[in-house]
């Protein structure tokens, strides 16, 4: 059932209701409706489960700690649905059917938008504009710290996406003269630095001659009551620089898809596609990374060392085990790799690269994969290149050990760029959380790399490998607001699923408009803070949002930049 959209879902749910009534399963009906719509019954068992969430700035990726396996009692509520066997819930594989075929033409369309954007707004053209044009030009600032790679990279990418939507140039912020992760990542020279903007502002006499003071208008996405992401027309903002803060995942900038101003929505649709057509959305973040970032020379040296002059890997297996070797997770990942191989069956002996935080896991899974494929991995202890000598003295911090295992920090960057060389598939498995921001970005970049400029498409796929244990309570323990499966984690996700190997969206959805998407009660509450009334099925009340925005105080927060 492709391109279902919310209308289709309402129809299908109606069908279920009518069907149930016809067959006289009235008792069951009441039970299932109460279960499916958490708002209809605030006392439903779903509400009583205590969700915990990690803070994006805990230093790691977007992993949520403290979520332990569900107890038997907690997962009981779902048994009815699976036993019933009706389609009032879906497995992850069923949810992933929408993503089995990718609309590569849409990604190529976005690639062209991005190309035109940087041709027009890139630093090489804009810095040479005549003073009065330059002084009237607009910019978007992307600023990241050096916390978790996935979250921080999304800050830069969100700024880049916003710069496209607003037709402004991109600035990448530096700290003490260094780009974020500057030792490991090189950035496109089509972005400005703040230092250059200040210099050009003085040089062109923007303040004195044109009366344009260099100020930044800020908006913090992590302050739901204050942000103007849904209520303001950002294209009409006059301030020279805009900084959208707190955009630590794929979700924040996609909030513009529901902005009340048609002009903002249309800019968002151009870039991200319609939120209800889940299967045909472009690989926006992958396309942005493809032009904005590349490995530093030292990191590239390490990547090439692993490849040993051979071809790029065919498949990446990303396994985040958090020091835990689970036989079941390994079994699930192995069968998912086999599925990926069937999809790229023109390769006789594929090369599989394994990326993991747990050296012992790599050791134990390698013999099994070796039967099917050539196994590659970055064994940092053996690498003698420039980066290993330069970084030797930097010891891994404790909080990172918890998140990433004992490997030094820079290894994650080598792994990232190595993994994103995969030509055919990225498989993400885990002991606990599968679709983290790090895995998402690896897959997105690999997909963009696999798509040739003038090609009609690519065979690339992104797969999520779930062992059954992780799905005892459906997807609701794959929590985390920026997790790629979060928008599917609500009551429409079946409990007690078997191992799953599911096609996964390259562009994580930010809304719940698709057929099988449903929110967690916690997300309904969170959206309420943004002024959005989200139903248990994930539809939103537009009229209510409109009136929320009308009554909202439109505060303008700016920061002056001394020249």
Ligand X SMILES: *[C@@H]1O[C@H](CO)[C@@H](O)[C@H](O)[C@H]1NC(C)=O
* Residues 486 and 479: beta-carbon distance below 8 Å: yes
- 533 lines the binding site for ligand X (CB under 6 A): no
Site string for ligand X, 218-257 (x = CB under 6 A): ----------------------------------------
Is there binding between residue 76 and ligand X (CB under 6 A)? no
Nearest to 405 by CA among 439, 358, 461: 358
CB 118 within 8 A of CB 190: yes
Tokens of 483: 């997790």
Least distance from ligand X to the Cβ atom of residue 452, Å: 7
**Comparing C-alpha atoms, which of 494, 533, 532 is closest to residue 516?**
494
In this complex, which beta carbon is closest to ligand X, that of residue 145 or of residue 366?
A: 366
Nearer to ligand X, 305 or 540 (CB): 305
Residue from 89, 278, 334, 534 touching ligand X (CB under 6 A): that is: 334
CB of 365 to ligand X, least distance (A): 8
b (16+ CB within 10 A) / e for 384-413:
ebebbeebeeeebeeebebbbbebbbbbbb
Minimum CB separation of residue 326 from ligand X in Å reads 4
499 binds ligand X (CB under 6 A): no
> What are the C-alpha distances in Å from 517 to residues 94, 447, 488, 493?
11, 24, 4, 8
State in angstroms the smallest separation of the CB of 109 from ligand X. Answer: 4
How many residues touch ligand X (CB under 6 A)? 18
By DSSP bridging, strand 461-466 and strand 500-503 are: antiparallel
Determine phi and psi for 350, rounding to 5 degrees: -65, 155
Considering only 454, 456, 551, 554, the residue that binds ligand X (CB under 6 A) is 454
Question: What is the pattern of x (binds ligand X, CB under 6 A) and - over residues 92-121?
Answer: -----------x-xx--x------------
- Residues in 400-439 at the binding interface with ligand X, rule: CB under 6 A: none
**Residue 145 or 386: which CB sits closer to ligand X?**
386
Distance (Å, whole) CA 427 – CA 279: 19
- Please list the residues that pair with 245 across neighbouring strands: 220
Q: Does residue 331 bind ligand X (CB under 6 A)? A: yes
How far does the chain reach from its first CA to its final CA, in angstroms? Answer: 57
> CB of residue 70 vs ligand X: minimum separation in angstroms?
12
**Segment interacting with ligand X, rule: CB under 6 A, options 77-85, 329-337, 413-421, 440-448:** 329-337
Q: Among 72, 393, 398, 453, which residue sits at the site for ligand X (rule: CB under 6 A)? A: 453
Q: Are strands 241-245 and 425-430 parallel, antiparallel or unpaired?
A: unpaired
Which 147-206 residues touch ligand X, going by CB under 6 A?
167
Q: Could you give the angle at the alpha carbon of 289 between the alpha carbons of 229 and 235, nearest 5°?
A: 30
Q: Which of 294, 368, 396, 468 binds ligand X (CB under 6 A)?
A: 368
Our finding on whether 294 is near ligand X (CB under 6 A) is: no
Give the torsion sign (CA, 358, 364, 367, 372). Answer: negative
DSSP 8-state symbol, 131? H
User: Rounded to the nearest whole angstrom, what is the least distance from the CB of residue 110 to ligand X in the complex?
Assistant: 9
Nearer to ligand X by Cβ, of 20 and 271: the residue is 271
Contacts with ligand X, residue ranges (CB under 6 A): 103, 105-106, 109, 167, 297, 301, 324, 326, 330-331, 334, 367-368, 386, 453-454, 469
């Amino acid at each position: 059932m492709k391109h279902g959209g919310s209308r289709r879902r309402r129809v299908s749910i109606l069908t279920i209701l009518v069907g149930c009534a016809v067959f006289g399963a009235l008792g069951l009906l009441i039970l299932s409706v109460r279960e499916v719509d958490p708002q209809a019954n605030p006392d439903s068992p779903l509400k009583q489960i205590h969700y915990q969430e990690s803070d994006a700035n805990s230093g790691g990726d977007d992993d949520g700690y403290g979520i332990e396996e569900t107890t038997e009692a907690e997962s009981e509520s779902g048994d009815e649905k699976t036993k019933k066997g009706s389609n009032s819930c879906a497995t992850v594989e069923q949810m992933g059917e929408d993503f089995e075929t990718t609309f590569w033409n849409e990604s190529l369309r976005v690639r062209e938008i991005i190309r035109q954007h940087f041709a027009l707004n890139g630093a090489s053209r804009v810095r040479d504009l005549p003073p009065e044009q330059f002084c009237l030009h607009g910019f978007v600032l992307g600023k990241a710290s050096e916390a978790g790679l996935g979250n921080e990279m999304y800050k830069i990418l969100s700024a880049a996406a916003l710069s496209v939507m607003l037709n402004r140039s991109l600035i990448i912020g530096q700290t003490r003269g260094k780009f974020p992760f500057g030792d490991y990542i090189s950035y496109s020279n089509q972005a400005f630095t703040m230092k250059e903007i200040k210099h050009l502002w003085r040089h062109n006499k923007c303040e004195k001659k044109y009366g344009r003071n260099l100020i930044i208008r800020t908006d913090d996405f992590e302050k739901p009551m204050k942000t103007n992401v849904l209520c303001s027309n950002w294209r009409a903002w006059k301030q020279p620089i805009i900084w959208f803060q707190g955009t630590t995942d794929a979700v924040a900038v996609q909030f513009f898809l529901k902005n009340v101003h048609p002009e903002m929505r249309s800019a968002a649709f151009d870039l991200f596609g319609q939120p209800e057509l889940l299967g045909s959305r472009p690989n926006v973040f992958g396309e942005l990374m493809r032009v904005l970032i590349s490995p530093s020379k030292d990191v590239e040296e390490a990547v090439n060392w692993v490849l040993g002059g051979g071809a790029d890997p065919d498949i990446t297996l990303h396994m985040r085990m958090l020091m835990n070797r689970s036989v079941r997770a390994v079994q699930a990942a192995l069968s998912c790799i086999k599925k990926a191989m069937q999809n790229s069956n023109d390769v006789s002996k594929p090369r599989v690269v394994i990326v993991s935080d747990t050296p012992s896991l790599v050791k134990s899974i390698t013999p099994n994969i070796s039967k099917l494929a050539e196994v590659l991995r970055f064994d940092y202890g053996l690498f003698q290149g420039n980066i290993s000598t330069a970084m030797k003295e930097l010891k891994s911090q404790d909080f990172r050990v918890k998140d990433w295992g004992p490997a030094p920090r820079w290894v994650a960057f080598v792994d990232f760029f190595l993994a994103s060389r995969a030509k055919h598939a990225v498989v993400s498995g885990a002991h606990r959380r599968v679709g983290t921001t790090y895995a998402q970005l690896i897959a997105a970049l690999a997909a963009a790399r696999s798509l040739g400029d003038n090609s009609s498409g690519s065979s690339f796929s992104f797969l999520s490998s779930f062992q059954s244990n992780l799905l005892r309570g459906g997807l609701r323990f794959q929590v985390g607001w920026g997790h790629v499966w979060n928008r599917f984690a609500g009551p429409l996700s079946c409990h007690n699923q078997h191992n799953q190997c599911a096609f996964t969206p390259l562009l994580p959805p930010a809304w719940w408009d698709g057929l099988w998407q449903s929110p967690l009660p916690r997300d309904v509450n969170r959206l309420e803070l943004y002024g959005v009334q989200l139903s248990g099925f994930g539809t939103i009340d537009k009229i209510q949002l409109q009136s929320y925005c009308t009554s909202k105080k439109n505060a303008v927060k700016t920061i002056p930049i001394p020249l």
